[in-house]
Amino acid sequence: MDNIQQQRLVHGFLRCGLPPSHDLSDTSLDENIRCDVLDIFITNATAFEPNGTKEICMPCGVEVLRGVKPPPPSFHSFALTREDGSHKYGGCLTFFTPATRQTVSEDEGGGGGQPTQREEEEVYVSECISLILEYPYITFPREYLKQLLEYSLAPGGKLPIEAYLHNLFYDVTYPSPGQTLKVSAPYSLLDICMPFSPMPLFDYSLEELFKFVDVDVLVDVLTCTLLEHQIMLFSKDKQKLIHTSESLKALLFPFEWDHVYVPIVPTTESYMHLTEAPVTFLMGLTNPVAMEDRSDICILDIDSCKLVLPEDLPELPGRGQLIASIRQCLSSVPPLVNVTAATPSPAPLIGGLQLDPIGAATKPAPSGPVSLAQRRANRGIPKLKVNLPLNNTPPAAAAVSDKTQTIRSLMLNHFASMLLNYAKFVIFPRDRTVWESNRDNQDNFEKDVFLCDQAECNLTFFSRFLESHMFSVFVDNKILINFGQPCEAVSVFDSRIEETRKSSFSEIKSPVAMETSVEGAAQTAAAAAAVVPRVSQSEVICRPPDQRGCLQHGGRGFPVLRKQLLADPILQKSSIQKKLLRQRSIKEALAKQEQSPTQPTTPSPASAIEREESLEKIIKTHADFTNQLLKECKNKINRLLVLKMGAEGQGLGYVVRDVEENGLVGSICDLVERVWSHGLIVRDGKSALWNSLRRQFDRRREINPGPSPSSTGSTSEDDTIEEMRAATFFRRSNSQTPSSGLPGDLTPSEGLYHDIQNIKNIRMIRTDAGRARAWIRLSIEKQCLHQYMELLTSDPAALSRTYKDYAFLREEEKVAPFIKYLYTLSAVPFLCFTSSFPAIAIQYRIYLLTSGKFYAQTTANTWLLLSGDKGDTGVYTLPRGENVVNIETRNLGELRSLRVGHDNSGYSPGWLLDHILVENALTGHCTLFRCGYWLSKNNLDGSIERLLIGERISRSEYRALRSSKLESPSPTRDDVTFLGPLRQDVSSPVNSSRAQELLATSINALVKRCYKGASPNNRGEVNLLCGPQGLVPALRLILSTGLKPIARFTRGPVLPWELILQVYEEVSRLASSHPDQPAIKTFMEWVIRLERPSSKSVGLDGKLQTLLCVGVKERMLRRWIYMIGQSLAAEKYYDNSSVFKHDDEFDQMVGLLHILEELDVAVDMSIIQSVT
């Protein structure tokens, strides 16, 4: 039985209109009345829910007309979404029927006891009839309902309405692919086609769509759909709403929209709450409501073709080419269809009788199965010689269908071009059971590697699209195919990718070059048509209706169906039908008893119960929404944490691409904004979150009035963004040590006030939505978002004044896990704010801590140059005698290095610098730059400037270092020789094996960075080159191990740079005969440059560091080290403990360095700035 019901094309009939108990005399004609189900018959009780369907059939309620001629019947289709996410479809025909209304008017000349005059006035009320179908057909239900309505009002029919409906319910099943069914309607045979197409059924015309929606507008809305934004459509025409919604879904193929889908939202209070849903949705409204104040929603007014896009919406890759191709397709001349009519057009059929042109009746149609030729002869259908298109549509619609199929093929080709090599990045698990049990927490697509292959202009779109739910489902289906479970959409898409690679019309060698061809799409459609066997393009005539009961025609409206004539032939009067009939009769009886036309209407208990049930339904619906939102929040945060905390990135130099991290953080910003927007009583502005923050800020300022916090991240009001990027400026503050009221030392309440003020001072952010997103990013970077959220939700009374009862923030059982998920973001460091606003000005507080030793202070003029991944400050002269300075400059990004020095002036210029602390006053980040060396000409190294490498530290470490005076011992010759600028423990001896291990680790980190996450313009390699575990310290250790003293009575061994000079003198004499001329030339050029007088301030250790980094950049390091190992100087100055004395170890080291020649390592300018 279930099988039979599932194969039926039509699941039920519905008639809706004015409730029988409603009195028109008590209703204003300017207001619509909520409709009621007047008649219903269901063949499958689980197919649809009548009460919800009636609201979609008449979303604006029953319309009442007076004094005007009623318009002709209008049709609109609709879609029903069931609880399991599946869809049922339907068609609804709305018409007006006459209704008698009594009006009472008093005689103007009379008074008191004058009799009243009663008159009858003709009014019209709207009514509709609907069919519920399994598939989204539009042509068939429209024509069938029109004929059914006309037949019900026309006299002279031979068969009752129930005969045609019974035939439709039980004798018509959905056609097979490539098959056309001929279904008997009251006046003609109607076609139901199932195209033999690899794409899903789509019975709408895209050519008609583009008559009321521009191509570029639809492409932008489609972009929002791909990125899973909330989408709202407005139109007074219900058919335009469903036409646009279904077209968007169809153009998404091979991806599927499985979010909230309500293409026609009823305007009643019971359903308007859906527009406040905090989840992704696609909805349509017949009455526009004020939603432009929401920043995260896409709004399309179809009637005026006005589009409001979400802020920061990336462009679809290849958008311009796609729009041009669609417009070219629409403007092209459709192919001619060869149609030859052998007989005149058929006359209308009434009750199974064929009427000739003068009205003479012919013999009735036979009741049994007949051949196609006989059926045509009986019905008067002309014999047509037609070149049928692929989808077997009527010839008149062939051109329209061809263009629709071509545009769909264009879109599929475009997706194939965008994701040409996606299959290479799918991670296929081995065990299906394990994968399915932990599917949400597994990453099945190498997003970071995929993004590395994309053009820079497309990264923002792809980084968001790869995180969408529809792409995740698509990848899951791809994996299931590998496990043997078929998926037609993925298979069709893969075959289209293969055609795209092979076809001559779209030779796309990389996903960057997006090309979409109309000719190519047409060829693809033609190729698909050629595959279809001719035998599959068949016509099947369904069994005609038979006589069932007597006629009921000639009434003023559509007749009431006689359910006994519609009983299932297999199950006569099933229990489902009996139950529906019993409920209907009880409801009508109660309505007649409780409502009387002579007494004033009073609210009935039934209506109160209905309102209560409606409220419970609203609460349940929004509870489902909030559960879905909470689950989405958990998945997004887990995905971000897995990305940031992956084993590949721990200490190996791998850094997540900024665009990928920003895409994930951006999705979290959207989720937080949805939480704060859900269930608002009154919406004010585009960002509910920023309004709440502003109220919190104003309340605190009223309680504690005073000067605003100092600006730590602002731009001049007259400066543009471009000017800010080009200009670097400083603002010196007084030399007093700042108070303890720093961002990291504030309470959550004080910190929230401080951060809101700082965001308000950033003038380059001009919208409330932008300020809210900036505040979220700043809070995530400061690792205090959970504290702020807990503070903002701590006042239930304030929330009850702002939000409805079902709002997310009013449910403690939802808010608590939401804050818990946000708390997990504090487990890893983020730079999502710093990387997103490179043009703002930020104040950096710098603490210079000199050693407590005697004569450690300097009398010289000191300077520093602070560098980050987004720029540097330039040389900044420090005020003499001051240990604390504030520098306000353009955002430097993540701090990498700091070069510090002096001019060697004064009576005691030597300076024993212990370390430097730098604090970002806006984000609270603290960076430690360790030194521990003399900056003095009298030191053995002779350096008066040094390059210090940054190290992020916690706030507690920062406070301890800032408040304490650490005493550092004077560096020895061994410290300078073995350790370089960062002092380490040298109490244990260092052998060649340990040096080789350090070298291998540093090279491995560089390889992983270059191949996994670094872009060519990234300047973060300074840590991997010169950091504590970097390449330069490892090579310095190798070059220093085993060096002999220069003379018998010297204080220590020769320094590595002194060895380099010996090698230079040796190769300069043999330069002309040396086999490796390029390496010799580059080596000598840089040694000469480093030995210039202008480079003496960097010292011997700084020169060695610069030379090694240049060797990596020029890909000459291996050849230079090999040249040093083969020199006479190495033979002379190294003992047997050195790597250069053992051939096996030396060859191993050279082999490791050979790997660097395959890498493109960017050297930070701060390393070579002193010599260039």
- Which of 85-99, 799-813, 1043-1057 shows the lowest mean pLDDT across its residues? 1043-1057
β-strand pairing of 297-301 with 230-234: parallel
For residue 223, name the pLDDT band (cuts at 50, 70, 90).
Answer: very high
Average pLDDT over residues 759-787: 87
Whole-angstrom Cα distance, residue 404 to residue 208? Answer: 9
Distance between CA 682 and CA 690 in Å, rounded?
14
Distances (CA, A) of 758 to 708, 710, 781: 10, 8, 14
- DSSP per residue, 874-893: --EEPPTT-SEEEEEEE---
d(CA 727, CA 888): 12
Lowest-confidence segment of 139-153, 257-271, 978-992 by average pLDDT? 978-992
* Residues forming beta bridges with residue 866, ordered by sequence position: 898
Q: What is the DSSP letter of 737?
A: P
The arithmetic mean of pLDDT across residues 837-864, rounded, is 85
Buried b (16+ CB within 10 A) or exposed e, 442-469: eebbebbebbbebeeebbbbbbbbbbbb
Which of these ranges, 40-49, 340-349, 839-848, has the smallest mean pLDDT?
A: 340-349
Q: Is residue 310 a contact partner of residue 840, using CB atoms and an 8 Å limit?
A: no
pLDDT for position 175: 82
Q: Note the pLDDT tens digit of each residue in 677-732.
A: 888 888 777 788 888 888 888 877 776 665 544 445 444 434 433 333 333 333 33
Question: What does the pLDDT read at residue 220?
Answer: 93
- pLDDT tens column, 381-431: 233 232 323 333 343 344 346 788 889 999 999 999 899 888 888 888 888
What pLDDT is attached to residue 609? 53
User: Which contiguous run of DSSP H or E holds residue 406?
Assistant: helix 398-418
CA distance 958 to 952: 10
Q: 524 pLDDT exceeds 60?
A: no
Distance (Å, whole) CA 447 – CA 786: 28
Confidence of residue 555 (pLDDT cuts 50, 70, 90): low
Q: So what's the pLDDT on residue 291?
A: 61
% of the chain beyond a pLDDT of 70: 72
Q: Is the pLDDT of residue 733 over 60?
A: no
Task: Evaluate whether 911 touches 935 at the Cβ level (below 8 Å).
Answer: yes
- Residue 635: the pLDDT is 81
Q: Do 182 and 540 meet the contact criterion of CB atoms below 8 Å apart?
A: yes
Query: In Å, how far are 129, 263, 293, 299, 1132 from 80, measured between CA atoms?
Result: 16, 9, 29, 22, 88
Q: Considering the entire predicted model, what is its pTM?
A: 0.68
pLDDT of residue 955: 80
Percent of the chain with pLDDT over 90: 7
Encoded tokens for 867: 């560098």
- Does the structure show a pLDDT above 90 at 221? yes
The 8-class DSSP code of residue 347 comes to P
Question: Which residue, among 755, 742, 761, 741, has the nearest Cα to 785 in the 3D structure?
Answer: 755
- pLDDT recorded at residue 731: 33
Q: Which residues contact 1132 (CB under 8 A, 6 or more apart)?
A: 1044, 1062
Q: Is 15 a residue whose pLDDT tops 70?
A: yes
pLDDT at 1090 over 80: yes
The tokens 């958008």 sit on which residue?
Answer: 319
- Among candidate residues 1151, 1153, 1056, 1148, the one with its CA nearest the CA of residue 1107: 1056
pLDDT score, position 233: 92
Of 828, 798, 903, the residue nearest 860 (C-alpha): 903
Q: Which residue has the higher pLDDT, 623 or 314?
A: 314
Higher local confidence (pLDDT), 472 or 568: 472
End-to-end CA distance of the chain: give it in Å, rounded: 86
**Which of 306, 638, 301, 254 minimizes the C-alpha distance to 441?**
638
Summarize the confidence of residues 994-1017 as an average pLDDT.
Answer: 72
Pair 187, 214: CB distance under 8 Å: no
- pLDDT value at position 584? 59
Is the confidence at residue 491, as pLDDT, over 60? yes
The DSSP result for 111-177, as a single string, is -TTPPPEEEEEEEEEEEEEEEEESS---HHHHHHHHHHHHHHHSS--SS-HHHHHHHHHHH-BPPPT
In sequence order, what DSSP letters do the residues of 460-524 get, joined into one string? Answer: HHHHHHTTSHHHHHHHHHHHHHHTT---HHHHHHHHHHHHHHH-SS----STTS----HHHHHHH
Q: What is the pLDDT of residue 55?
A: 84
Rounded Cα distance between 738 and 883, Å, is 12
Query: What is the C-alpha separation between 295 and 766, in angstroms, rounded?
Result: 13
**pLDDT greater than 70 at residue 119:** no
Query: How high is the pLDDT of residue 924?
Result: 86
